[in-house]
Structure formats: C-alpha cells, structure tokens
Structure 1
C-alpha cells in the first residue's frame, strides 16, 4: 500500500468529533446536553445578515472567481473598520481576505516559514495552529504561560525561547483556550521583543469583538514605527456575525505580506467565498449596535460562569475572558481527557480536555461558555457537583 505523508499520518484525529462522540453516549439523566465544546455563537445570526447572504448567494455576479486578495469592496470596508478600531492609518492595501481565520493562519505560516524553520508558540496553544505547523514540517517551540499569572505570556520567557531558527511568534488574544486578554502594554512589550530579534509576530485576534470593555483599543501596535515589518494580525468574521459556516476571515498586515500571502492563497483556494464577502461588506456598518449587544451578552455569560463555579469544591477558573474559560478540575489522579469524557457521558457537559492544548495542561478543561446562555450556564453547578461526588 502506498504511504501517507508522515507529518499528517502521525497527527491525532481532529479533537472536536472525538468529544461529540463522547456526548452521543450520554443518556440524558441530568437533562439536556450542555455543549461548551466548539466555539460557536450561542445565538443566531441577525435576520438582516441572513437576508444579505441569501440575496448575494442568488446573484450570478458572485458565482465567478474574484480577486485573490478578496473583493475590493470588502477590503476597503474592513480596512476602514480596522482603522477605526485601532485609531491607525490602515486601508485596503493592508487587508487580505481568507476563507476563515484558520486559513489565514495557514497562508501566513507558509509565507513566513518553511520546513525545518521554527515558530514559537505559547503553552497552552490553539491546537489547530500547532497541527498546521506540524503538517508543514515547521518546528514548534513552546513558552509556558504561568497559571499563577492568569496564563499570560512572560516577555522574558519569550525572549529566552527565541533561538536563531525561530521565524515567528504566534499568539492568540483574547486567548484560545484560556480566554485571557493580553493588555496593550503586554502586547507592546512582545512586539518590541519581536522587532528587536527580527522575527514576525502573528497575532490571532479572532475574539477581539468580545473584549470586556467597550471602546478600548486591543493594542496600539499599528502605531509603532515600521510595524509592517513585524506585525501580522489575523481575524475571523465567524463569531461576531454568527456565520462560521460561511468561512470568512482576514489578515491585516503590510502590503509586502499581502503580496506573499496572495501567492499562497492562489494555490490553496484561488479566492475567498464571494457572496459572504459582499454580505459582510454591507453588514459591517449596518450591524454595529447588534454586535455591541452581543459583546455585552457574552460578558454576562462570563459573569454567570464565574458565579456558578465560585466556591465549588476543588474547581477553580485559571483564566476567563472572551468566549472561553480555562477551568481547573480537582482530580489529580485523572487525565483531562478522562475527566472531560466522564463529564460528557455522565453529566451531560461537553468541554475540551486541557491536554488538547499542550503538555502540562492535564488539570484543566476548556469551557466555551459563549455557546450557552446564562440560565443554562447556571445549571452547571449542580451537575459538576454531582459528578465530583460520584467520582
């Protein structure tokens, strides 16, 4: 039999289907399943968004190929949007549209590093980014984030981990899996380190629309001198517009990066989905207030989770923020996979094991609390307590 690529064959199976399989064994004894596994919006898309998607999907103008970098109108609208968010001088030339943020990461990684090069990541990390690098033959070096410091990266530890073969540092803020929000000051220090060491900073900002405070710039990196030689920002429209199935993301970077990414994109997908681009170009200015109300709703869900787990014997929150909480469980003699599987099958709670996000995370579980409303989140306390008593 012909052989498979060992860089792919040796990877574990995709984690989300594994967790869903655990859930199928749940007998309903505690009530309906509470799904805190995959990060999906826990409320529907706005009716106007759905109408726009339908109208443009039925328009023959969007059935053909479009520009590799993305349709001009969305690049212009999103460029102006990003400029307003960060108070910086940005426009269409700084934008490359992709089919989701995962693809944005794939394209950027290929543009920056080759087989045998190294990308530095935090531990814990977002598993799809780590496996992407593995499939590409790019080495991964990890810098641990201290749970005692809310899983925030430490600039000194990052500096120590940067060796001559490191081409880029990949970070996610607000973080997946922990939810931790990196302050503008922390990101500034990390950027300065990357610039001084001559490596790229790939910053995944998929969850920036759900920061705890309104009107606060996530960072001021786009104001840094020569930022285009260091920073590559990644984004997804999936969460804020509730359209993950339409696969639409974006890269914000210097024109030189956009040019290199286009070479990759031409071979990966040729162009991003066109009707979704047209719909989002309309929706960005139209649904501003709706997105703000969703941000407030996610904040309420975060508060509900903190209240629900407070004082629960042996359980604690290591970090919590936009969309996620990294929850420490009390079972020192059990793996995180064993605990997550037990919660799914016995308590009707779907969550992800900490081990999916890096070595040394066995005492943690990722709760994607944004999936459930506050009333549902409050049901967790009794279920978690009874699971602990029975274990």
Structure 2
C-alpha cells in the first residue's frame, strides 16, 4: 500500500522547467540544427574567472567557509547590501533590515511564511512567476490571479477589487518574469499606496534589477519606494545574486524588510537551511566589491539582446510581441494549437525549447494558451536570428 501524500503537494503542478526538459528525451538534434534552449532564465555560463578564483581561495584557506554561519547571513554581506542599496535607492537601509537566503525563491518562501497562513490570499498578476504560485499552493495559501492586459501591466484598481479580509499581500516582479515588462515607478507607488492603505504587504521581487533599461542599479534605481516613511511596514524587497554574478548553483538571494519581519523569518530559515551557503555569500560579497563594471557590461549585453528581439520580430508578421525586457520576451503565437502543444512541437520540428504560457497562467486561461515565454539571456544576436528563422518556418 502506498503511503498517502500531502494533498497540497499532490495538487501542485510539476516544476515547469523540469517538465520541459523531459520533452527533449528521445529527440535527436542534427549538427546543422542544434537545440536552441530559451526555456530558462538562469545563466549557463560560469562566473567570471576572478570570481571563481576567489571562491576557490576561500574554499582552500578560510576555515569558516565550511562552518555554520548566522541564520540571517554573514554580517559583512548584509552590511555591503545595506550600503549599496542605500546608494542606489537614495535612502538609508540598515543591516538589521537585510537577510541573506538560499536564492530568491527561498526569500519569497521565508517572507510569505511570515505573512500568510492556511486559507489566506495573495494576489499575483498573471502571467505569474510559476514558483510563486507553486509555493502558495503547497502552503495552502490561495493565489488570486490579477489578469493583465496586452501591456502586461497590473492595474491597482482591479487589484483593489480583489482584496478581501483574507488578502495578506500583493506580489509583483519587476522587471517582470515572465513578461519582461518594466513596471513604471508611478505604478509601483500606486501599488505601495494601495497596500499601505489596506494594511497588507507589497512583495516586490527585483531579481532582474541589474538589467533594467531605465537604470543601472548602481547609482540609480527604478523606483523610490524606500523614500516612503515607514516603508518597512509595507514593503518587502526580494533579490537574487544568481543573475548578476552567475551564481545559480551557489544559491544566494536576499530580502530587505523590517527588523521584526526578519525576526520571524529567522524561524523559517533556521528550520529549512540553518544558514545560507558560505561560499555563495563570500562570492556575492566579492562580486559586489569587485565586479561593478563587469555587471554593467553584462547589462549592456542583455539590453542589446532585447533590442535584437525587437528588431527581429518583424520577421514573424503573424506573431505579437507583448513584452520584452531583462531576460524575457512574452509573445503571442498565431496557431490554432494550445501553447503547451505548440511548445512540444517546436522541440521536434524546430529544435527550440520554449516554455508555453500555460505554465504561467491559471488553468483554463485563454490568453496563456496563445502565449509563450522566450528567455534570451543565453543566446546572442546570432542565436536570436537563428531562432527567428526557425520560427518563421514553423507551420
């Protein structure tokens, strides 16, 4: 007899990236048409050599790199984030408002655990980041979809209409995953004001802040939410070092919130991971102190790839480009097939691995059935051009 499963876990959908990888099984890709993988946002290139050398040196020569550390992260990294984020956002952030986590997904999980409980609600704009939805499902928190229009921007008035006495937070991602759009500062302020007025939390995931076309994340930022008095009573800022320094395998993220929020989140983090990865934290600190110019160069490259997407899209006159920015393009296809069926066909017929919109939208959502996410961080202009040629030949 099979042991029973947690019904919440059993009802949660499979990890989309892992599911998509299974579509590759048994498919052969000829040498003249190798697989183009635009399914995942994570960089596949390793960190720059100097950063890898710093990690290796720490592994060999720093005994503390192999020991437990503080649950909320190493003080030197928390101090550095507080300093640099204060400079970028033109505000004052303190160490005791900064926590380090094992990736940004854990930052979301830890902070949501302090916000919402069984049968509570969190509003997520759709298309949503699927891991946010998955975590809500597993925790018994109802993810309330907030549909966006063709501009992919959520409407605060429509969000307000969804708020009930069970609503605990609104979670936004900007620059957006999966849509690529950059939320205007005025829109973010409107959501902040709404959350403040309603006494709920605004969770703002800025994993892709380093690749925002409007600001460099060093001397400028995309909003002024930290200027609000008592910002930490409403706002939680989430961040990941995976993209900026290519530290995906080291799992280093962070969140910025009130000191009291960190005290509660510490309970979750101590139970789940005890402390963040030491080598990852050392790498993140070294990167913040030494790789500013390198990250700015990476930003320009990503912005150029986004430009290549926009320039190449006229090759697909029957398609629609709905959003493009940071690592992502969100597109509408012209075929009668559902996007999940089309995505699997594209693997076989075009050597393209692309995630369907159905992975980012509620079940039965008609928009998601017509849409796809293209994650272009790992293909250059030549690869983007090749992708468009293959899509043009799909029938």
- SS of structure 2 residue aligned to 1:179: coil
Name 1:346's counterpart in structure 2. 349
Name 2:41's counterpart in structure 1. 39
Name 1:85's counterpart in structure 2. 88
Contact 1:23 1:348 in 2 (8 A): no
Name 1:367's counterpart in structure 2. 374
Name 1:317's counterpart in structure 2. 321
Name 2:360's counterpart in structure 1. 357
Check if 1:234 corresponds to 2:238: yes
Name 1:125's counterpart in structure 2. 128
- SS of structure 2 residue aligned to 1:203: strand
RMSD: 1.2
Q: Matched residue pairs, number? A: 385
Spell out the pairing of 1:1-391 with structure 2 (5 A cutoff).
1-29=2-30, 31-41=33-43, 43-58=45-60, 59-147=62-150, 150-215=151-216, 216-331=220-335, 333-359=336-362, 360=365, 361-388=368-395
- SS of structure 1 residue aligned to 2:223: coil
Give CA deviations for 1:322-372 in whole Å, capped at 9, x if unaligned: 1011011001x2111111111112101111000000132111000001121
1:23 CA drift (Å): 2.6
1:25 CA drift (Å): 3.9
TM-score, L = length of structure 1: 0.96
Runs (4 or more) in structure 1 with deviation over 6 Å come to none
Identify unmatched segments of 5+ residues in structure 1. none
Contact 1:26 1:348 in 2 (8 A): no
Contact 1:346 1:387 in 2 (8 A): yes
1:61 CA drift (Å): 1.6
Alpha-carbon separation, structure 2, partners of 1:320 and 1:9: 34
Alpha-carbon separation, structure 1, partners of 2:177 and 2:369: 16
- SS of structure 2 residue aligned to 1:121: strand
Alpha-carbon separation, structure 1, partners of 2:59 and 2:257: 29
1:105 CA drift (Å): 0.6
Alpha-carbon separation, structure 2, partners of 1:310 and 1:86: 37
- SS of structure 2 residue aligned to 1:387: coil
Identify unmatched segments of 5+ residues in structure 2. none
